[in-house]
Amino acid sequence: MHIVDLLDHSEFFQGVGRQSKELLSGICIAKNAAKKEMLFHEGERGHALYLLASGAVSLYKITADGREVVIKVVRPGELFAEVILFEQDRYPVSAVALNASRLFLLPKRRFYALLENVEFRNDFIGTLMKKQRYLAERIRYLTTNDVEERFFIFIREQYGPCTTVVPTLAKKDMAAAIGTTPETYSRMLARLSGEGRISLRGKVIHLREDFWQERDATKPARVAPLKSR
């Protein structure tokens, strides 16, 4: 996918005009990351923002007792590490590729140079305002939908309304993506399986053939699935 097309599909840059996207594409540096490759470490001086084109990236922190806590699983089209632009100059989390991934780096210094362009600066300020609204929606999403609902929202958004799901993420990363712990995620899968609502064969999740039709027919209006803005 061409970088401008990727920017067109990125929720974060939805409010940015075509000319600004062309300017952005001019500073992007392509990078291929192998599975488990570290992109940056928490506390490291930030030199670039990242835009994920394909694959998956985990953002995590290490607690005082040495535990790894996943903050977010980044999906294709999402921008991350933008905090280094204005809030701080060091990465607040670590980032690792969960599988083979393709990314674009946006060097911090070159991004600052783009902000000298008035049209680009106005476009970008608009995207920051949308990001604030996204964070508010994230809080509403986590408090309004229970774990089960977040699970089905994630499955549909990530894999579509199919009845056989082969997760591309590890269990702990699936749990992080829906805002819960691996233990709670495992208990939920076991309960749904025991109720006959899903069946599990290894890591593959099977749903009834009429699952999505029945769900759409009986489920009341819900909080919309979240996408980074």
Residue whose pair of structure tokens reads 């607040």 in the numeric block: 92
**What does the alpha-carbon distance between residue 112 and residue 134 come to, in Å, rounded to a whole number?**
24
What is the reported pLDDT for 48? Answer: 94
**What does the alpha-carbon distance between residue 4 and residue 24 come to, in Å, rounded to a whole number?**
8
**What does the alpha-carbon distance between residue 153 and residue 197 come to, in Å, rounded to a whole number?**
15
CA-wise closest residue to 167 among 206, 133, 134:
206
DSSP sequence for 112-147: HHHTTSHHHHHHHHHHHHHHHHHHHHHHHHHHHS-H
3-141 classified as CATH 2.60.120.10: yes
> Token pair of 59, please?
């953002």
What is the reported pLDDT for 52? Answer: 94
Q: What is the pTM of this model?
A: 0.62
Map out the domains of the chain as residue ranges: 3-141, 145-218
CA-wise closest residue to 120 among 20, 203, 7:
20
For each successive 10 residues of the chain (229 residues), what is the average pLDDT?
A: 80 77 90 96 93 91 79 86 83 93 94 86 73 61 75 84 86 80 90 90 88 78 45
> Token pair of 16, please?
């940015």
CA dihedral for 172, 161, 214, 137, sign (positive or negative) = positive
Element (H, E) at 165: strand 164-165
What is the reported pLDDT for 219? Answer: 65
What is the reported pLDDT for 83? Answer: 84
Same fold, 3-141 and 145-218: no
What is the reported pLDDT for 65? Answer: 80
What is the reported pLDDT for 159? Answer: 83
Q: Strands of 68-74's sheet, edge to edge?
A: 38-40, 94-97, 57-62, 68-74
CATH code that applies to domain 145-218: 1.10.10.10
CA distances from residue 179 to 142, 185, 207 in whole angstroms, order as listed: 7, 10, 22
What is the reported pLDDT for 20? Answer: 84
Residue type for position 94: S
What is the reported pLDDT for 220? Answer: 54
Inter-residue contact 152 to 205 (CB < 8 Å): no
